């Protein structure tokens, strides 16, 4: 038949056959009632099927979304050295590529779940019919029928549908499985399956499960371990428990037999694997650096920037798979934690038990279960956190979050059921231990970069996440004085300027009269150098400097360096306003860095998405030419200077130079034995309620305070020098490698080092400055043209005469007792309340 007649034939059939079919249907419809009933029935059935199909597929997810599907992954945190220190995860997940899965692991899952995976089109008809028969046989029994699902169907269920147990879900699963097979290759489907399948112990995917059950990576698993993982999809919570070990071994051996039957392994390999025990490891918590306060600060900042869950965006903390590089130095962090704890325990001394760390209500159910859900804990020596479950006379029982109970000894009469306490193993039971009620915060920072290196916000972050290093507002006391002195230097004073250590009063109005400031311990008198006043932390000299420099200028300096935004009250010059450890350390970092400051300090260096692209970084300096394809022969490109200039570099160095004297012969003299070039300042607030020290080296600045969360008197003997400074000393002693360079503070351009008499502040030309703490001659830092003149005997006689005359004038004024010039009347209540801070 030629081409033309063939086309004519086809057109003829297309035109005539439908006519004949309709004619046949019409004739039978008219002549045969049975035909009419059968046609109507068939129509009804087809309509019902079409309607059911429409309901079934309506709203089904689009299988093409699988092309862009991304596994929810935890955020991984690295420390300053690049080592992993933590992960933010509510589930264990690790994403691998198809090439990362060992072939025998793939074959184990095929043998256990879907041996025809590579030949079917998404649905295994034989398995489906077996599932239908099993479903019918178990209908009404309450038992769950076998699924009969292929691996593709399980992917559809896990990722698109959920785990609803119904015939409708099974039908939807089959439809989606066919669609998935149309858009993804077999290796892509297997990759999704092996990365997403829930396998118990909060693990999703084979890599996370390998770590959870065997503490191995998938590439290191033995055959019997791979077979065990393959049995878990059926019942992960049953097979993974010790009491079902024999059931798990039986199921594992079945999988090994199936592997041998399908020629995945030899019979000898299967037999050898079947002879092995399960070898499961105990469940363990995620490995993490003991830096809870630091890591929680990182988490808060990440959630603020990227959101918490997948609903908040593709780069969320608990689903985005972020890689976060932080500035955490684990060695410094360990030292900070130990140093602060030692300081708190040293203060607590032998004060005895101060009460429970928390209290649980026995009426709310099992106490150990309540404790487990509270996540309270401690990591100190061999201490544990438990709850008192029984108390009768001189006996008591303590229970722990794992259900263990033991006798408790060494407890006071005040102990009661429901008290959550710390305890230490003792004999066949436990002995009560006291977590100090006093607390504090510690933070260490690199002043050159602003990177926060260590942070300890209390005794243990597992007892509460309130971070006293960043969240506790405390009065800084005398640690604020260096910035008062800096303001004085900016207003024309010098470290050698003579300042009266004499009474300073503020007129508060006719009703209140004068408010007079005093030195710690009382005393005072005479005129001394600024250096001496800072080294000895003289309140009266500080207030005189604040008055000379202008309180508006002083509080302007406080605000500029980030300490706080205060009213221009004289009490604020002595540290009456609230601030945080983080702010104080950052302000001192500006002093050590020639007056340049890096925001409020950073805990995160940069953030990468799951593919490694940097999506956020702290250092945003531009580097023009850094990415050029080829070097153009010009000078190599360099980053610009980082940070913001908040203080005259010369002023900053002058203050640091004076603060070195605080360590050499001042209130922090106990640090002198470290034999390091250190600067710093102690602080103690009225009460005393807070004891502070802030200081360090050119490379590390640290700050800390000790005090009760609800401020109250620490005891009259407490000072920053004997309570906070020893914490810093312990910190340095435990990290010698970080201080071994012994780098000194370098003066910026424009500073002149001049020999002066340490006591009088007069310039001298004879003699050599000494490193001795009480040396008569020292080097002092001056701005150009501010150096003092040479001292002479006549100068000394004149100074003494002026001092005597000044005392006589003051005596006459006191007898006169006349009204004083009003000064800042708005201070009335504030100064009365805050005065006396030292």
Positions marked catalytic:
113, 478
Is there a contact between 827 and 526 (Cβ–Cβ < 8 Å)? no
Q: Is 688 exposed, middle or buried (0-12, 13-18, 19+ CB in 10 A)?
A: buried
Kindly report the number of other CB atoms within 10 A of residue 10's CB atom. 10
- For 621, the 3-state DSSP assignment is coil
List Cβ neighbours of 171 (8 Å cut-off, separation of 6 or more): 56
Contacts of 243 (CB under 8 A, 6+ apart): none
CB atoms near residue 620 (< 10 Å): 7
Are 649 and 656 spatial neighbours (Cβ–Cβ below 8 Å)?
Answer: no
All residues at 6 or more sequence positions from 99 whose CB lies less than 8 Å from its CB, including other chains? none
Q: For residue 790, what is the DSSP state?
A: B
3-state secondary structure of 540: helix
Contact 706, 727 (CB under 8 A): yes
In contact, 216 and 105? CB cutoff 8 Å: no
Distance separating alpha carbons of residues 110 and 183, to the nearest angstrom: 21
Angle 725-733/330-348 helices, nearest 10 degrees?
140
Selection from 773, 788, 687, 671 nearest residue 731 by Cα: 671
HEC profile of 406-471? EEEECCCCCCCCCEEEEEEEECCEEEEECCCCCEEEEEEECCCCCEEEEEECCCCHHHCCCCCCCC
Q: SS3 of 106, please?
A: helix
CA angle, 323 then 641 then 565, to 5°: 85
d(CA 79, CA 605): 10
Which three-class secondary structure state does DSSP give residue 341? helix
Q: What is the Cα 225 distance to its own chain's centre? A: 35
Q: 119: exposed, middle or buried (C-beta count within 10 Å: 0-12, 13-18, 19+)?
A: exposed
Distance between CA 630 and CA 636 in Å, rounded? 11
CA distance 769 to 705: 35
Q: From residue 787, how far is each of 579, 754, 756 by CA, in Å?
A: 35, 7, 9
Count of residues making up the chain: 838
Residue 579 has what DSSP assignment?
B
Is 739 in contact with 768 (CB distance < 8 Å)?
Answer: no
SS (H, E, C) 47-98: HHHHHHHHHHHCCCCCHHHHHHCCCCECEEEECCCCCEEEEECCCEECCCCH
């Amino acid at each position: 038949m030629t081409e033309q007649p063939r086309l004519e034939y086809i057109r003829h059939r297309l035109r005539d056959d439908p006519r004949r079919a309709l004619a046949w249907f019409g004739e039978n419809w008219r002549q045969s009632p049975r035909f009419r009933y059968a046609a109507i029935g068939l129509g009804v059935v087809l309509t019902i099927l079409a309607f059911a199909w429409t309901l079934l597929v309506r709203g089904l997810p689009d299988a093409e979304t699988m092309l862009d599907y991304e596994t929810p992954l935890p955020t991984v945190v690295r420390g300053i050295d690049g080592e992993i220190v933590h992960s933010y995860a509510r589930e264990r997940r690790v994403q691998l590529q198809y090439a990362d899965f060992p072939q025998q692991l793939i074959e184990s899952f095929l043998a256990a779940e879907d041996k025809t995976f590579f030949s079917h089109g998404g649905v295994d008809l034989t398995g489906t019919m077996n599932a239908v028969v099993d479903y019918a046989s178990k209908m009404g029994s309450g038992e769950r029928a076998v699924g009969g699902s292929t691996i593709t169907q399980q992917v559809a269920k896990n990722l698109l549908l959920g785990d609803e147990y119904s015939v409708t879900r099974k039908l939807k699963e089959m439809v989606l499985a066919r669609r998935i097979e149309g858009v993804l290759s077999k290796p892509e489907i297997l990759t999704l399956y092996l990365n997403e399948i829930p396998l118990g112990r909060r693990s999703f995917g084979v890599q996370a499960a390998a770590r959870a059950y065997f503490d191995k990576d998938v590439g290191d698993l033995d055959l019997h371990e791979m077979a065990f993982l393959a049995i878990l999809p059926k019942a992960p919570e049953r097979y993974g428990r010790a009491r079902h070990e024999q059931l798990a071994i039986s199921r594992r051996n079945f999988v090994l037999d199936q592997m041998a039957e399908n020629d995945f392994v030899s019979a000898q390999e299967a037999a050898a694997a079947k002879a092995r025990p399960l070898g499961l490891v105990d469940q363990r918590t995620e490995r993490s650096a003991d830096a809870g306060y630091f890591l929680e600060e990182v988490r808060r900042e990440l959630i603020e920037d990227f959101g918490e869950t997948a609903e908040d965006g593709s780069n969320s903390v608990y689903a985005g798979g972020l890689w976060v590089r932080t500035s955490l130095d684990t060695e410094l962090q360990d030292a900070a934690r130990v140093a602060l704890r030692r300081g708190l325990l040293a203060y607590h001394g032998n004060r005895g038990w101060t009460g429970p760390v928390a209290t649980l209500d026995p009426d709310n159910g099992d106490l150990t279960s309540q404790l487990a859900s509270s996540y309270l804990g401690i990591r100190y020596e061999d201490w544990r956190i438990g709850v008192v479950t029984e108390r009768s006379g001189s006996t008591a029982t303590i229970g722990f979050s794992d259900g263990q109970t033991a006798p408790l000894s060494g407890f006071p009469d005040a102990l009661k059921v429901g008290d959550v306490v710390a305890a230490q193993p003792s004999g066949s039971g436990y002995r009560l231990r006291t977590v100090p009620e006093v607390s504090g915060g510690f933070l260490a920072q690199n002043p050159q970069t602003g990177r926060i290196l260590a942070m300890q916000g209390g005794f243990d972050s597992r007892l509460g996440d309130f971070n006293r290093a960043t969240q506790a507002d405390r009065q800084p006391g005398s640690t604020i004085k260096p910035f008062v002195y800096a303001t004085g230097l900016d207003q024309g004073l010098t470290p050698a300027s003579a300042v009266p250590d004499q009474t300073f009063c503020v007129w508060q109005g006719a009703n209140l009269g004068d408010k007079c400031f005093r030195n710690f311990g009382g005393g005072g008198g005479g005129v001394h150098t600024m250096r001496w006043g800072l080294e000895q932390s003289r309140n009266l000299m500080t207030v005189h400097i604040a008055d000379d420099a202008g309180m508006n200028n002083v509080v302007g300096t406080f605000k500029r360096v980030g300490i706080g935004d205060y009213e221009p009250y004289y009490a604020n010059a002595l540290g009456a306003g609230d601030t945080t450890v983080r702010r104080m350390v950052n302000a001192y970092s500006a002093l050590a860095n020639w007056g340049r400051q890096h925001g409020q300090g950073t805990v995160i260096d940069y953030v990468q998405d799951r593919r490694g692209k940097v999506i956020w970084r702290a250092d945003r300096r531009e580097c023009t030419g850094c990415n050029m394809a080829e070097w153009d022969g010009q000078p190599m490109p360099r980053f610009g200077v980082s940070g913001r200039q908040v203080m005259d570099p010369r002023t900053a160095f002058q203050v640091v130079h004076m603060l070195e004297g605080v360590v050499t012969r001042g209130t922090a003299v106990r640090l002198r034995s470290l034999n390091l070039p250190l600067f710093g300042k102690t602080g103690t607030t009225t009460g005393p309620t807070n004891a502070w020290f802030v200081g360090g080296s050119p490379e590390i600045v640290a700050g800390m305070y000790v005090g009760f969360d609800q401020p109250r008197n620490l005891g009259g003997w407490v000072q920053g020098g004997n309570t906070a400074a020893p914490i810093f000393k312990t910190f340095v002693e435990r990290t010698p490698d970080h201080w071994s360079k012994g780098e000194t503070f370098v003066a910026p351009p424009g500073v002149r080092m001049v020999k002066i008499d340490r006591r009088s502040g007069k310039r001298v030309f004879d003699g050599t400055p000494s490193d001795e703490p009480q040396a008569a001659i020292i080097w002092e830092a001056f701005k150009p043209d501010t150096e003092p003149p040479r001292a002479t005997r006549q100068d000394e006689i004149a100074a003494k005469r002026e001092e005597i005359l000044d005392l006589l004038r003051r005596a006459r004024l006191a007898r006169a007792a006349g009204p004083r010039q009003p000064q800042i009347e708005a201070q009335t209540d504030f100064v009365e309340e805050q005065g006396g801070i030292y």
